[in-house]
Amino acid sequence: MAQKLVIKVTAGADAPERCSQAFTVAALAAASGVEVSLWLTGEAAWFAVPGRAAEFRLPHAAPLPDLIDGIQAGGRITLCTQCAARRGIEEEDVIDGVRIAGAQVFLSEIMPDGVRALVY
Protein backbone atom coordinates (compact mmCIF):
# COMPACT_ATOMS: atom_id res chain seq x y z
CA MET A 1 0.00 0.00 0.00
CA ALA A 2 1.18 3.55 -0.69
CA GLN A 3 2.73 5.42 2.18
CA LYS A 4 0.91 8.58 1.13
CA LEU A 5 -2.04 9.41 -1.11
CA VAL A 6 -2.41 12.85 -2.66
CA ILE A 7 -5.78 13.61 -4.22
CA LYS A 8 -6.53 16.70 -6.29
CA VAL A 9 -10.22 17.40 -6.67
CA THR A 10 -11.02 19.83 -9.47
CA ALA A 11 -14.80 19.42 -9.45
CA GLY A 12 -17.40 20.90 -7.16
CA ALA A 13 -21.15 21.20 -7.47
CA ASP A 14 -20.58 21.45 -11.24
CA ALA A 15 -19.67 17.72 -11.35
CA PRO A 16 -21.11 16.30 -8.12
CA GLU A 17 -20.34 12.61 -8.68
CA ARG A 18 -16.68 13.24 -9.46
CA CYS A 19 -16.44 15.59 -6.50
CA SER A 20 -18.04 13.14 -4.10
CA GLN A 21 -15.81 10.31 -5.32
CA ALA A 22 -12.68 12.31 -4.50
CA PHE A 23 -13.82 13.14 -0.98
CA THR A 24 -15.04 9.58 -0.38
CA VAL A 25 -11.75 7.99 -1.49
CA ALA A 26 -9.78 10.49 0.61
CA ALA A 27 -11.87 9.86 3.72
CA LEU A 28 -11.72 6.07 3.29
CA ALA A 29 -7.96 6.17 2.81
CA ALA A 30 -7.53 8.33 5.92
CA ALA A 31 -9.73 5.95 7.94
CA SER A 32 -7.59 3.07 6.68
CA GLY A 33 -4.44 4.64 8.05
CA VAL A 34 -3.05 6.03 4.80
CA GLU A 35 -1.49 9.48 5.04
CA VAL A 36 -3.82 11.64 2.92
CA SER A 37 -3.41 15.05 1.37
CA LEU A 38 -6.53 16.41 -0.38
CA TRP A 39 -6.09 19.42 -2.66
CA LEU A 40 -9.10 21.62 -3.42
CA THR A 41 -8.79 23.19 -6.87
CA GLY A 42 -11.18 24.68 -9.40
CA GLU A 43 -14.78 24.67 -8.22
CA ALA A 44 -13.85 22.41 -5.29
CA ALA A 45 -12.12 25.46 -3.80
CA TRP A 46 -15.47 26.60 -2.44
CA PHE A 47 -15.56 23.65 -0.02
CA ALA A 48 -12.76 25.30 1.98
CA VAL A 49 -15.26 28.00 3.01
CA PRO A 50 -17.36 27.29 6.13
CA GLY A 51 -20.88 26.12 5.32
CA ARG A 52 -20.29 25.44 1.62
CA ALA A 53 -19.82 21.68 2.05
CA ALA A 54 -23.13 21.46 3.93
CA GLU A 55 -24.89 22.90 0.86
CA PHE A 56 -23.61 20.07 -1.38
CA ARG A 57 -26.18 17.37 -2.14
CA LEU A 58 -25.78 14.09 -4.00
CA PRO A 59 -28.23 11.20 -3.54
CA HIS A 60 -26.73 8.06 -1.98
CA ALA A 61 -23.50 9.87 -1.07
CA ALA A 62 -22.05 10.63 2.34
CA PRO A 63 -22.40 14.26 3.41
CA LEU A 64 -19.31 16.30 2.52
CA PRO A 65 -18.93 17.75 6.04
CA ASP A 66 -18.63 14.22 7.42
CA LEU A 67 -16.07 13.29 4.78
CA ILE A 68 -14.09 16.47 5.47
CA ASP A 69 -14.03 15.62 9.18
CA GLY A 70 -12.73 12.15 8.35
CA ILE A 71 -10.05 13.50 6.05
CA GLN A 72 -8.89 16.06 8.60
CA ALA A 73 -8.76 13.39 11.31
CA GLY A 74 -6.14 11.47 9.38
CA GLY A 75 -4.74 13.88 6.84
CA ARG A 76 -4.50 17.39 5.48
CA ILE A 77 -6.66 19.55 3.23
CA THR A 78 -5.05 22.23 1.08
CA LEU A 79 -6.68 24.96 -0.97
CA CYS A 80 -4.86 25.93 -4.16
CA THR A 81 -3.39 29.44 -3.92
CA GLN A 82 -4.45 30.55 -7.40
CA CYS A 83 -7.89 28.97 -7.09
CA ALA A 84 -8.45 30.82 -3.80
CA ALA A 85 -7.27 34.12 -5.27
CA ARG A 86 -9.54 33.80 -8.30
CA ARG A 87 -12.52 33.34 -5.98
CA GLY A 88 -11.54 36.00 -3.46
CA ILE A 89 -10.99 33.42 -0.71
CA GLU A 90 -8.47 34.57 1.91
CA GLU A 91 -6.70 32.65 4.68
CA GLU A 92 -9.19 33.96 7.27
CA ASP A 93 -12.12 32.71 5.15
CA VAL A 94 -11.33 28.97 5.30
CA ILE A 95 -12.39 26.28 7.74
CA ASP A 96 -10.01 25.43 10.56
CA GLY A 97 -7.19 23.16 9.52
CA VAL A 98 -7.23 24.05 5.80
CA ARG A 99 -4.04 25.58 4.47
CA ILE A 100 -3.55 27.59 1.30
CA ALA A 101 -0.57 26.53 -0.81
CA GLY A 102 0.53 26.44 -4.42
CA ALA A 103 1.97 24.26 -7.13
CA GLN A 104 5.44 24.06 -5.60
CA VAL A 105 4.02 22.44 -2.44
CA PHE A 106 1.80 20.12 -4.50
CA LEU A 107 4.81 19.01 -6.55
CA SER A 108 6.87 18.41 -3.42
CA GLU A 109 4.10 16.15 -2.10
CA ILE A 110 3.65 14.00 -5.19
CA MET A 111 7.27 13.40 -6.21
CA PRO A 112 8.71 11.25 -3.38
CA ASP A 113 8.80 7.46 -3.65
CA GLY A 114 5.82 5.70 -2.11
CA VAL A 115 3.32 8.43 -3.00
CA ARG A 116 0.27 7.85 -5.15
CA ALA A 117 -1.55 10.77 -6.75
CA LEU A 118 -5.11 10.85 -8.09
CA VAL A 119 -6.92 13.66 -9.86
CA TYR A 120 -10.71 13.88 -9.93
| C-beta of residue 103 within 8 angstroms of C-beta of residue 109 | no
CA proximity to 44, closest of 89, 1, 5: 89
Write out pLDDT tens, residues 43-95.
999 999 999 999 999 999 999 999 999 999 999 999 999 999 999 999 999 99
> Model's pTM, two decimal places?
0.95
Cα separations in angstroms, 117 against 6, 38, 108, 111: 5, 10, 12, 9
